[in-house]
Amino acid sequence: MLFRSELHAVAHKMVEKGKGILAADESTPTCSKRFSSINTDSTAESRNFYRNMLFTTEDIEKYISGIILFDETFHQSELSSGIKFPEYLTSKNIFPGIKVDQGLEDFSPYEKLTKGLDGLSERLGKYYALGARFAKWRAVITPGDSIPTNDCILANAKNLAKYAKKCQQANLVPIVEPEVLMDGVHTIDESFEITSRTLNMVFDQLDEHNVSLQGIVLKPNMILSGYECPYQASIEEVAEKTVNCLSAHVPSEVPGIAFLSGGQSDEDATLHLNEMNKYETDWNLTFSYGRALQQSALKAWSGKKENVTDAQEAFIEKAKANSLATVAGL
């Protein structure tokens, strides 16, 4: 393992004020779905072109500290130079990261458990040698009638902790992502309660597995009303409840919290983050957004080479706005 101070330094840089993380680790099926929305075929070449368009955007390094890659993208290259993406991003002072979980399996008829621990240490070692400096593992917690159960939350928390320990042993900063899904009719108070339970179990397990909290990045959901809930909480209420929940359940040693956008609109994801940063907290609050950073660029591009400049402008505009939100600058 690297000296812990080096892992800690990477974690702190990933969440420094004014910067956030681009989640570009969409699986091939997810990417195909996104591309179909703009009537574009999803091939290895078109996916490489699209990611290249984002990663080569001028000034991206001013606002983006790290990029989470999917395995396919990790082995692809910047098109003009032929340099592999991890090396290219490193040259721009952007940390390359890698999604290492292997998706979901059924825990019960209505709940999921993330898989991918088999052979993980070996895979992490290879990714580090190829330039990765952090990794990501997403656990999915589903609100619903009598769920989530504590058994399911605990099983996911244990896997997150085992993954995080293996990452640190491989000199990689683990992004710990316990996502309480926003789909459903649950109220914002139910979201608060489920997220509180989840964070408690996750940090209990991280402690039990001797994970260094100063060398992780937490990637949680915000505390929102379920998208089908009749009452939708205001920007101010979401910010207040999210900060209160985190303050009660996240240790101060964690250097930063990089929120997932979870299907929020681009605007809401940015405004929620901006409002939260009006509060004094123990951590830097930043973003690790996928759709909320990419959606406008994807539409502007629409699969056409002549639209690259417009798409890059749309992308950097979102990156700038979320950068400002990390300092409550909107």
CB within 8 Å of 157: residues ≥ 6 apart: 139, 178, 198, 201, 202, 204, 205
Query: How many Å apart are CA 74 and CA 127, to the nearest integer?
Result: 9
Phi, psi of 67 (to 5 degrees): -130, 125
Query: By the 8 A CB rule, do 13 and 94 touch?
Result: no
Is 162 a known active-site residue? no
Amino acid at 70: F
- List the beta bridge partners of residue 135: 98, 174
Both tokens of 12, joined, read 């702190």
Closest-CA residue to 34 (of 315, 298, 290): 298
Q: 260: burial class by Cβ within 10 Å (0-12, 13-18, 19+)?
A: buried
Q: Which of 158, 219, 241, 318 is catalytic?
A: 219
- How many CB atoms sit inside 10 A of residue 4's CB? 12
Question: Which is nearest to 10 in space by CA: 174, 205, 219?
Answer: 174
CA distance 256 to 15: 5
E strand residue ranges, 100-172: 104-108, 111-114, 134-141
Tell me, yes or no, if 240 is annotated catalytic: no
Q: Out of 26, 78, 111, 177, pick the active-site residue.
A: 177
Torsion of CA 182, 184, 186, 192, to 10 degrees: -20
**Of 218, 225, 230, which Cα lies nearest the Cα of 182?**
225
Catalytic positions, written as ranges: 177, 219
